[in-house]
Amino acid sequence: MAFLEVKGIEKCFGNLKVLKNIDFSLEKGEVIAIIGSSGSGKTTLLRCLNFLERPDKGSISVNNKVIFDAMDPTTQRESEVRKKRLHFGLVFQNFNLFPQYTVLKNVTLAAELLARERPNYKQEKKDIIKEIQERGKMLLSQVGLSDKLDYYPHMISGGQQQRVAIARALALEPDILCFDEPTSALDPELTGEVLKVIKKLAENNTTMIIVTHEMDFARDVADRVIFMDDGVIVEQGSPQEVFGNPKEERTRQFLTRYNKV
């Protein structure tokens, strides 16, 4: 069984069926790029994986453990969902950094709050906090922002903010890191620095699912590409297959439209 197994996911908003019977799997260390036009359900799929939406049907398992099953209400309890969503990290299209905290605090906040639940927190508070701080600094140096630790989000550029968001998502060591169009809100000249960071993560075997409109980037960084249209996975395969020789007519249409733009 694969590391992540998504089976038969369906999601409706009112009468609109946004996801129809989505099946896919992901191996550890693999990078999947999800492409498709707006409204095809890519973002909703990511949001389902991160428990921001609750699928109407289907199941999600990570590492052979069912973490969500629409038929089984015990997998949907609020208290458990909170723990289980930590399997996933999510980087948002518009960063969603916390404006009142410094760059470093943005990265460490969640870990600090989570540490309070450790049984030895009271005795070893100082060491635990220090360890979290060190890790935060390390992550920020990984995304090239060591010199911005004490800045507030509004003081840095969009590309830098998105890199902070990536460090923040990594801070809790998620098994699978998800990106929801991470460069769509950025000026063209700023997308490069973000893509470079993601590429570096891919080289370090980070397991990732990337929803993107950057076709060249998807081809470059992904091990597998999924093309979605109208709530279904139309086609998936290696970047060479999907971009070089798409089997489905819909994929071909989408890609030609893209090349023209």
Partner 1 sequence: MNEISVIISRLSGSFLLNCRLFIFTLLFSLPLGMLIAFGSMSRFRPLRWLMRTFVWIIRGTPLMLQLIIIFFGPGLLNMSFSWPSGDSGRFVAAVVAFVINYACYFSEIYRGGIESVPKGQYEAGQVLGMTKSQIFFNVTLLQVVKRIIPPIGNEVITLVKDTALARIIANKEIIMMAGEYSNKGLIWPLFATGIYFLVFVGGLTILLNWVEKKLGYFRV
Out of 28, 65, 83, 118, the only residue in the binding site for partner 1 (CB under 8 A) is 83
Cα–Cα distances in angstroms (integers) from residue 255 to residues 172, 245, 250, in the given order: 36, 11, 9
Does the footprint of partner 1 cover residue 76 (CB under 8 A)? no
Helix H or strand E encompassing 126:
helix 121-142
Sheet holding 16-26, edge to edge: 16-26, 4-13, 57-62, 65-69
Stretch that binds partner 1, among 31-39, 84-92, 130-138, 251-259 (CB under 8 A): 84-92
In this structure, are strands 31-35 and 57-62 parallel, antiparallel, or unpaired? unpaired
Cβ 170 to partner 1, closest distance in Å? 11
Does the footprint of partner 1 cover residue 110 (CB under 8 A)? yes
Does the footprint of partner 1 cover residue 88 (CB under 8 A)? yes
What residues numbered 216-245 form the site for partner 1, per CB under 8 A?
none
What residues numbered 7-36 form the site for partner 1, per CB under 8 A?
none
Helix H or strand E encompassing 121:
helix 121-142
Task: Considering the complex, state which of residue 11 and residue 168 has its C-beta at the smaller distance from partner 1.
Answer: 168
Burial of 10 (0-12, 13-18, 19+ CB in 10 A): middle
Binding site for partner 1 (CB under 8 A): 50-52, 82-83, 85-86, 88-90, 92, 94, 96-101, 109-110, 113-114, 152-154, 168-169, 172
